[in-house]
């Protein structure tokens, strides 16, 4: 197992569990207590509310329950040098395929070791290799095994969910882009689109759905399964197919003639709930209408929809649609943006022509969370790009303003006077930059190393804000002295530690931090990290109400692994009248392109321009900030 300085709590816990397993396999008497110690330490670290690395930085590793001198020493080695030699030596005596089998139910270290050595199973994909042996009946003949234990192993494998994680939106988007590109290479393709949860811009995506309008669906399917990166064809019909690509990502394709492509787009965009609600609505019309991926059909009075009549359905379609919009219009509905197709109420809104005019990327006039490399000795990671580079990028994006929101200087390593000093220097630098910006026309060399590297960009941005992302301490206080807070235009506050307070305490903590006059925004409110960390518990309606009454803003963080506030809470907040601040949480200018994902979340939460503070012009937003 690879060790590194950057290991997070889950990785460390896995490492320690593997050590415990290796000790069990060694089968020495004096290992007994060590095994228990490693397992305890693994449990404790997995459930910590802050990163073990941070605790190490504070010199407090041994305060973690279950972490004694010797485990603390191994962890220190890892954080310092990237490896604990001692653990590495121990682990490298065991084939890594053994560790791969441990997540299976009922397979302990010794059993796994025996299977691996007897059957000569090697990494990677040990589980699927084991499955092949079990299916071929090769396990029942091993000494100490039998037909029953073989069946048990097969069951454990089929129950095993593995890390079937849902994929992050930006990742899925990259893959679907490549597949669309591939499908467009085929001469039969008239158009190709991404459907399913990716088209609805859901925060995570299970599998990828692609549709093509094709002059020859058969041939399109053939072209699709020949995708160069395909690992395996999972399914192949005359109008649909599924393949598996590296990373165990499933891609589904549907192909249909251009004349009826509109119904296909509607059907496979989903969501399932939207489609169910739409079908019910169509049936309630008079005459009743029946929907499918091929088109819309009138149902006569005597007819009831039973399964028999569903067969051969496509031959009796009465109406086909080239465009999706025509499909909705035929039902007496306005076209519904895919982001709103989640639950049913959107159909009623569409019928009454009351769908919200949801915010759009082109409405955004600035980015309100960016970390630069201006070094104020921050408590968490500094950014990688300079103020000038950020201004250059903001300019390219057509923004009027951005906010520089480095983390606060670390509390434990500075006196009040030092923090005040650091923030004064930041203030002065930002002021100089603003002066330069207002002395237009000012030119700044763009940092792109392409073409003539001397290429100059005229600044269109009007102002940069001097802001800060401040940790909310457990008691709701801020780790920045009053005199330093005064230097800021406004501040963001956010939780980076103690994620597990109870709901009442957490709500109090957040509101207390928000109550400071210089604080304007609650950043990445729930603290979730997709596939990694759950949201904190808090009384969100109470916090939203506080924000509305006290003119505070809630952030929608566009970092694809955060997307926080989550869309369903955005929807609640929008109904209540909350105003949001969109920020990319960029630590490099390339991340500034992630604004798109923050807008996706806002759209899925039914937010309009009026709900988003960064749709305001500079003059307007200055009114909010002052
Ligand atoms: P995902 O993949 O879990 O992120 O979510 P979706 O919404 O992309 O779900 P998926 O891939 O299973 O199906 C794509 C859309 O196709 C789904 O939103 C609804 C629609 N659909 C309509 N009829 C069916 C059906 O019979 N089976 C499935 N699986 N989907 C259907
Ligand atoms: Ca899907
Ligand atoms: Ca699918
Ligand atoms: Zn943060």
Q: Is 197 exposed, middle or buried (0-12, 13-18, 19+ CB in 10 A)?
A: buried
| 72: its two tokens | 């603390």
Burial class (CB in 10 A: 0-12, 13-18, 19+), 612: buried
- The SS3 call for residue 234 is strand
* % of the chain surpassing 70 pLDDT: 93
Helix residue spans in 397-438 (DSSP H): 416-438
Name the residue among 139, 208, 215 with its Cα closest to residue 180: 208
* 3 state SS for 510-521: HHHHHCCCCEEE
pLDDT value at residue 447? 47
H-type alpha helices, 226-353: 261-269, 272-284, 307-310, 324-330, 345-351
Ligand 1: lining residues by beta carbon, under 6 Å: 196-197, 202, 205-207, 209, 267-268, 270-272, 275
Q: Which ligand is nearest to the CA of 166?
A: 1
Count of other CB atoms within 10 angstroms of residue 455: 11
Q: Which residues place a Cβ less than 5 A from the ion ligand 4?
A: 494
User: How far, in Å, is the centroid of ligand 2 from the Cα of 530?
Assistant: 17
Residue nearest to atom 18 of ligand 1 (CA): 270
Ligand nearest to the CA of 251: 3
Tell me the two tokens of residue 363: 């409405």
On whether the CB atoms of residues 252 and 209 are closer than 8 A, the answer is yes
Q: Let me know how long the chain is.
A: 626
Pick from 167, 206, 270, 324 the residue to mutate for probing ligand 1's pocket: most ligand atoms within 8 Å of its CB: 270
Q: What number does the ligand 1 atom closest to the CA of 209 have?
A: 11
Residue 412 pLDDT? 87
Q: Is 137 helix (H, G, I), strand (E, B) or coil?
A: coil
Place of tokens 């030092």: 418
pLDDT at 5: 82
Distance of CA 562 to CAs 29, 106, 591, 607, Å?
46, 35, 13, 18
Q: What does each C-alpha distance from 519 to 346, 366, 598 come to in angstroms? A: 35, 19, 21
Going by C-beta distance under 8 Å and a sequence separation of 6 or more, which residues neighbour residue 11?
none
User: What pTM was estimated for this model as a whole?
Assistant: 0.76
Closest to 442 in 3D by CA, of 469, 467, 419, 460: 460
String of DSSP letters for 161-193: -TT-PPEEHHHHHHHHHHHHHHHHTSTTEEEEE
**C-alpha of 154 from chain center:** 33
Evaluate whether 320 touches 260 at the Cβ level (below 8 Å). yes
Spacing, Cα 253 to ligand 3 middle (Å): 8
Q: Which residues pair with 69 in a beta bridge?
A: none
Helices 9-26 and 69-81: crossing angle in degrees, nearest 10, is 120
Beta-carbon contacts of residue 560 (< 8 Å; ≥ 6 apart): 168, 169, 170, 171, 530, 594, 597
The protein residue whose alpha carbon is closest to atom 10 in ligand 1 is 196
Q: What is the number of the ligand closest to the CA of 521?
A: 4
Q: If phi over 0 gives left and psi between -120 and 50 gives alpha, with beta otherwise, what is residue 141?
A: alpha
The pLDDT tens digits of the residues spanning 379-429 come to 888 999 999 999 999 999 999 999 999 999 998 899 999 999 999 999 999
Query: In angstroms, what is the span from residue 268 Cα to ligand 1's centroid?
Result: 6
Which stretches in the chain have pLDDT values below 70? 1, 49, 159, 161-164, 301-317, 440-459
Residue 305 has what pLDDT?
52
pLDDT score recorded for residue 443: 53
- Catalogue all structural domains in the chain, each as residue range(s) with its CATH number: 9-159 (1.10.150.110), 167-256 (3.30.460.10), 278-351 (3.30.210.10), 361-625 (3.20.20.140)
What is the number of the ligand 1 atom nearest to the C-alpha of 166?
Answer: 4
For residue 198, the ligand 1 atom closest to its alpha carbon is: 8
C-alpha 535 – ligand 4 centre gap (Å):
14
Q: Is the peptide bond preceding residue 287 cis, with omega within 30 degrees of 0?
A: yes
CA 82 – ligand 2 centroid, Å = 39
């Amino acid at each position: 197992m690879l060790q590194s300085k950057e290991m997070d709590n889950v990785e460390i816990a896995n490492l320690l569990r593997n050590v415990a397993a290796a000790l069990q396999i060694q089968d020495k008497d004096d290992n007994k207590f060590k095994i228990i110690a490693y397992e305890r330490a693994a449990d404790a670290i997995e459930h910590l509310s802050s990163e073990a690395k941070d605790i190490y930085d504070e010199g407090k590793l041994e305060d973690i329950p279950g972490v004694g001198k010797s485990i603390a020493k191994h962890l220190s080695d890892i954080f310092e040098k990237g490896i604990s030699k001692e653990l590495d030596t121990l682990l490298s005596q065991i084939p890594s395929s053994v560790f791969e089998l441990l997540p299976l139910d009922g397979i302990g270290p010794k059993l796994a070791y025996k299977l691996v050595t007897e059957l000569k199973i090697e990494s990677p994909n040990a589980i699927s290799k084991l499955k092949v042996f079990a299916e071929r009946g090769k396990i029942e003949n091993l000494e100490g095994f039998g037909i029953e234990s073989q069946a048990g192993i097969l069951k454990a494998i089929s129950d095993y969910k593995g890390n079937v994680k849902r994929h992050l939106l930006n990742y899925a988007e990259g893959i679907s882009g490549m597949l669309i590109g591939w499908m467009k290479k085929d001469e039969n393709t008239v158009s190709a689109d991404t459907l399913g949860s990716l088209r609805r811009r859901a925060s995570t995506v299970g599998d990828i759905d692609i549709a093509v309008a094709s002059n020859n669906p058969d041939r399109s399917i053939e072209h699709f399964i020949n995708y160069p990166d395909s690992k395996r064809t999972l399914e192949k019909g005359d109008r649909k197919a599924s393949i598996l690509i590296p990373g165990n990502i499933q891609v589904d394709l549907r192909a249909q003639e251009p004349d009826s492509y509109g119904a296909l787009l509607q059907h496979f965009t989903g969501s399932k709930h939207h489609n169910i609600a739409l079908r019910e609505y169509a049936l309630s019309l008079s005459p009743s209408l029946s929907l499918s991926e091929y088109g819309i059909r009138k149902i006569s009075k005597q007819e009831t929809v039973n399964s028999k009549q569903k067969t051969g359905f496509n031959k009796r379609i009465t109406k086909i649609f080239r465009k999706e919009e025509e499909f909705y219009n035929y039902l007496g509905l306005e076209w519904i943006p895919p982001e709103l197709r989640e639950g049913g109420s959107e159909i009623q809104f569409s019928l009454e022509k009351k769908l919200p005019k949801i915010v759009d990327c082109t409405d955004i006039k600035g980015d309100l969370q960016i970390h630069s490399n201006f070094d104020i000795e921050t408590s968490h990671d500094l950014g990688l790009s300079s103020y000038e580079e950020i201004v250059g990028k903001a300019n390219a994006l057509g923004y009027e303003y951005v906010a520089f929101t480095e983390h606060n200087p670390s509390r434990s390593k500075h006196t009040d006077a030092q923090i005040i000093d650091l923030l004064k220097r930041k203030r002065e630098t930002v002021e100089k930059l603003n002066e330069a910006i207002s002395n237009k026309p000012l030119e700044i060399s763009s940092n792109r190393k392409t073409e003539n590297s001397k290429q100059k960009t005229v600044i269109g941005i009007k102002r940069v804000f001097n802001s800060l992302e401040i940790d909310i301490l457990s008691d709701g206080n801020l780790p920045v002295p009053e005199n330093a807070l005064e230097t800021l235009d406004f501040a963001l506050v956010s939780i980076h530690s103690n994620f597990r307070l109870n709901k009442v305490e957490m709500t109090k903590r957040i509101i207390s931090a928000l109550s400071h006059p210089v604080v304007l925004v609650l950043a990445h409110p729930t603290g979730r990290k997709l596939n990694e960390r759950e949201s904190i518990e808090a009384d969100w309606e109470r916090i939203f109400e506080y924000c509305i009454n006290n003119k505070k803003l809630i952030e929608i963080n566009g970092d694809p692994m955060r997307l926080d506030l989550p869309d369903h809470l955005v929807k609640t907040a929008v109904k209540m009248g909350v105003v949001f601040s969109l920020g990319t949480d960029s630590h490099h200018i390339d991340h500034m392109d992630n604004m798109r994902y923050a807008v996706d979340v806002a759209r899925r939460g039914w937010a309009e321009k009026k709900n988003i503070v960064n749709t305001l012009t500079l003059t307007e937003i200055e009114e909010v900030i002052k």
